Structure 1
Amino acid sequence: MTASLRAEPLRIGIVGAGIMGRGNAVALSREPGVSITACVSRTRASADRLADEIAGRGAPRPRVHDQPHDLFTDDAVDAVVITTPDHQHADLVVAAAEAGRHVLVEKPFATSVADADRALAAVRSAGVIGMCLFNHRWVPAYAQAYDELGTMGDAAVAYARKNDTITVSTEMINWAAHTTSAWFLSSHDIDLVSWLIRDRVVRVYTTGRWGVLRGRGIDTPDAIQIHAEYERGTVATFESAWISPASFPTPVDSYIGIVAEGGVIQLDRQAENLVVARPDGLTYPRTLLQRVVHGVPAGAYRDAIVHWIECCRTGAEPLVTLESSRDVTAVLAAAHESLRTRQPVDVPPPAEPSR
């Protein structure tokens, strides 16, 4: 069956009980007309911990399932949030859509073009709402930059970096060897820059560096740079690394700069308007993506999820279309082929809209 469009409540199942699963649970915990009714994870114990945490926030304790299929076919679930490791996304999106459930999936949408295409086809065929959680589009400065760039003509050059501390690749996630800094970090920036300049990447050339993480038994590049050419001639560099020292004042160093024919945009998220100095060092606490204001979840992460919820209720197409998210996957797949071959690689053409 296809999940019906309800005024309220929208009953949500969460797949994955890691950092992002908990982040989604926090963002949803105070939303009116939303109920987390089920959860599932790789182990029963981790799913139980998430269910207990949700109950600890004053909500009914969601039922815990042993397998994603059981959650997708649960009559108490209208929509699902998929927060598993990257390489598992496509199969779960397909299964959820085929069960008639609306889908919100963490970025990246998928890790191959073939997987992205079949996941996109499954969502469109089922007639459910699907969105990839590229939540940075809801950061106020990025949203304003989109409007400003609309008055500046074509972009000439763009540069974006997201560099994480080594704690992310060695401690925060235990599956770094199954991904790269580009899949994990540059996916956000490729989505953002392509959206900001209203264009698509057609060709990439990629270089990378291995060393530190291999030395720790994690076989993934320390850093990757993607040189991208856009359809209308913009050239862009997407930089990602995840070996910065743990002493760096933020977990991520994030910056975007765009030079257009009629102006320049710079977006530096280093301080996010708050600096905290203590005897043991200086930090810049994160305030834009995930925060709690007077006990209420807030920030771009929560705003993106609320947008998806509203689309589930109304049937509207999300701001982040699955077609655009599929194109991010196509860019990254081409970039990793370029990294392997040391040659420029053309990006597959965009998927044809099916509705």
Structure 2
Amino acid sequence: MEKKELRIGMVGYQFMGKMHSHAYRDYPFYFDAEIKPVLQAISGRNETAVKQAAEQMGWASYETDWRSLIQRDDIDIIDISTPNHTHAEIAIAAAEAGKHIIIEKPLAMTVEEAERMYDAVKKHQVKHMICHNYRFAPAVHYAKKLIDEGRLGKIYHFRGNYLQDFIADPNFPLVWRLQKEVSGSGSLGDIGAHSIDLARFLVGEFKEVVSMMETFVKERPIASASGGLSAKAADHKLGQVTVDDAVAFLARFENGTMGTFEATRFAQGNRNKNKFEINGEKGSIRWDMENMNNLEVYLAEDEPGLQGFRLINCTEEHHPYAGAYWPAGHIIGYEHTFINLVHEFFHSLAHGIQPKPDFEDGVRNQRVLEAVEKSAKSKQWVTVKGSK
């Protein structure tokens, strides 16, 4: 039986564009794909670069204006992998054109933008998904299963840290991630947004936060070129850093859980230390993205003498998504979190249901980001908009 095809148009082609392209290409290899993704067209402003990217990553054609991409009749899905300040305009236009949307995080620059985007996809009845890929590590989904089954009992603590060091060198150039008018925020929105989404996924909704933020290096060399997490300086001319380098905040959840969070790009020696620990009345769990296949589990019901954290390698067919890959113990990597996410996206489209996380999650995450920024300025507890 011939499978239905859905044709993708992707805006952006650097770090996340490359990752998304890989996921679309590999998804049918691992999963019994109910819908075949077709890499129809890619869009970017630099014709030479976007043409080269299309050829390298397997896209059938390219455009130099995202508006042309959206208006094409041979495109069913718009993938937005561009800097944050472009998200709202592209997503709203895509919704108005009747295209399904998959978008990188954070959803928008502001809560108001995020809400307009959510209103647009609801009005035009298109499916929408935001790429919080860490939800889709098998170990994280297994942690969710244990929590939902009550294995940890009432949750007392969520402790989330996202530590990087890629801008710790004060001579690292002023890339777009360090400019508020393009990124919206710094470590908070870039990496802290992932911890916020994981906390909401695993524990529940935020009620209020109190925070502090810091910019350690306030001026940097102007960038001449950048891609992914690397860049080159143009010359010795300096530009102002207008976002946070680090953020730390406390949170109360609606269900009474206490939360502590830290996100920084100045933690020397930590390349991508995205980790959490959850403590409940019956046990605890720990996860670290740098060892993404492993989940540490402690259960208080174990008999004295045998109590302690056990290490579970979540690569068995009993673990979410793991059965699509290799035999037990044959670990998977970062790229597979995106393949799993893409699987959920297309499975949802095949069955006419809304995939998660979606623009509603993006709005809720954005409200937490806003509350954290407001708290840092006021130095007071701030209630998260929409919380009970």
Task: Give the Cα–Cα distance (whole angstroms) in 2 for the partners of residues 349 and 342 of structure 1.
Answer: 21
Task: Give the Cα–Cα distance (whole angstroms) in 1 for the partners of residues 104 and 289 of structure 2.
Answer: 21
Q: CA deviation at 1:123?
A: 0.5
Q: 1:167 to 1:46 in 2, by over 3 A?
A: farther
Q: CA deviation at 1:167?
A: 4.7
Task: Give the Cα–Cα distance (whole angstroms) in 2 for the partners of residues 297 and 13 of structure 1.
Answer: 23
Task: Give the Cα–Cα distance (whole angstroms) in 2 for the partners of residues 173 and 103 of structure 1.
Answer: 26
Task: Give the Cα–Cα distance (whole angstroms) in 2 for the partners of residues 350 and 39 of structure 1.
Answer: 39
Runs of 4+ in structure 1 off by over 6 angstroms are none
**1:46 counterpart residue number:** 49
Task: Give the Cα–Cα distance (whole angstroms) in 2 for the partners of residues 260 and 172 of structure 1.
Answer: 42
Q: Is the Cα contact below 8 Å between 2:84 and 2:109 reproduced in 1?
A: yes
How do 1:145-294 residues align onto structure 2 when only pairs under 5 Å count?
145-150=143-148, 151=150, 152-167=152-167, 170=172, 174-178=176-180, 179-197=185-203, 199-212=204-217, 214=219, 217=239, 218-245=241-268, 248=269, 251-272=271-292
Between 66-75 and 304-313, the greater mean CA deviation after superposition: 304-313
Q: Is the Cα contact below 8 Å between 2:207 and 2:387 reproduced in 1?
A: no
Q: 1:120 to 1:168 in 2, by over 3 A?
A: farther
**1:12 counterpart residue number:** 8
What do residues 124-149 of structure 1 show as CA deviations (whole Å, max 9, x unaligned)? Answer: 11111101011111111111111111
Task: Give the Cα–Cα distance (whole angstroms) in 2 for the partners of residues 9 and 269 of structure 1.
Answer: 33
Between 128-137 and 205-214, the greater mean CA deviation after superposition: 205-214
Q: CA deviation at 1:173?
A: 5.3
Task: Give the Cα–Cα distance (whole angstroms) in 2 for the partners of residues 322 and 273 of structure 1.
Answer: 28
Q: 1:299 aligns to what SS in structure 2?
A: helix
**1:123 counterpart residue number:** 121
**Equivalent in 319, 344, 358 of residue 307 of structure 1:** 344
Q: Is the Cα contact below 8 Å between 1:112 and 1:333 reproduced in 2?
A: yes
Q: 1:320 aligns to what SS in structure 2?
A: coil
Q: Is the Cα contact below 8 Å between 2:87 and 2:107 reproduced in 1?
A: yes
Task: Give the Cα–Cα distance (whole angstroms) in 2 for the partners of residues 172 and 261 of structure 1.
Answer: 46
Task: Give the Cα–Cα distance (whole angstroms) in 2 for the partners of residues 147 and 177 of structure 1.
Answer: 39
Larger Rg: 2
Task: Give the Cα–Cα distance (whole angstroms) in 2 for the partners of residues 333 and 272 of structure 1.
Answer: 29
Q: CA deviation at 1:88?
A: 1.9
Task: Give the Cα–Cα distance (whole angstroms) in 2 for the partners of residues 13 and 329 of structure 1.
Answer: 26
Task: Give the Cα–Cα distance (whole angstroms) in 2 for the partners of residues 134 and 327 of structure 1.
Answer: 13
List gaps (5 residues or longer) in structure 1: 1-5, 56-60, 275-286
**TM-score (structure 1 length as normaliser):** 0.83
What do residues 193-236 of structure 1 show as CA deviations (whole Å, max 9, x unaligned)? Answer: 11111x21111111012213546643322210121111121111
Q: Is the Cα contact below 8 Å between 1:79 and 1:102 reproduced in 2?
A: yes
Q: CA deviation at 1:163?
A: 0.8
For 1:73, give the aligned amino acid: Q
List gaps (5 residues or longer) in structure 2: 29-35, 222-238, 295-314, 316-320
| Identity across the alignment (%) | 26
Q: Is the Cα contact below 8 Å between 2:166 and 2:265 reproduced in 1?
A: yes
Q: Is the Cα contact below 8 Å between 1:204 and 1:228 reproduced in 2?
A: yes
**Equivalent in 78, 81, 84 of residue 80 of structure 1:** 78
Q: 1:228 aligns to what SS in structure 2?
A: strand
Task: Give the Cα–Cα distance (whole angstroms) in 1 for the partners of residues 293 and 60 of structure 2.
Answer: 37
Q: CA deviation at 1:319?
A: 2.8
Aligned residues: 321
2:381 is aligned with 1:344: yes
Task: Give the Cα–Cα distance (whole angstroms) in 2 for the partners of residues 67 and 303 of structure 1.
Answer: 30
Task: Give the Cα–Cα distance (whole angstroms) in 2 for the partners of residues 209 and 226 of structure 1.
Answer: 12
**Equivalent in 134, 140, 143 of residue 142 of structure 1:** 140
Q: 1:266 to 1:121 in 2, by over 3 A?
A: same
- CA root-mean-square deviation: 2.8
For 2:165, give the aligned amino acid: T
For 1:204, give the aligned amino acid: V
**TM-score (structure 2 length as normaliser):** 0.76
2:363 is aligned with 1:320: no
Q: 1:101 to 1:265 in 2, by over 3 A?
A: same
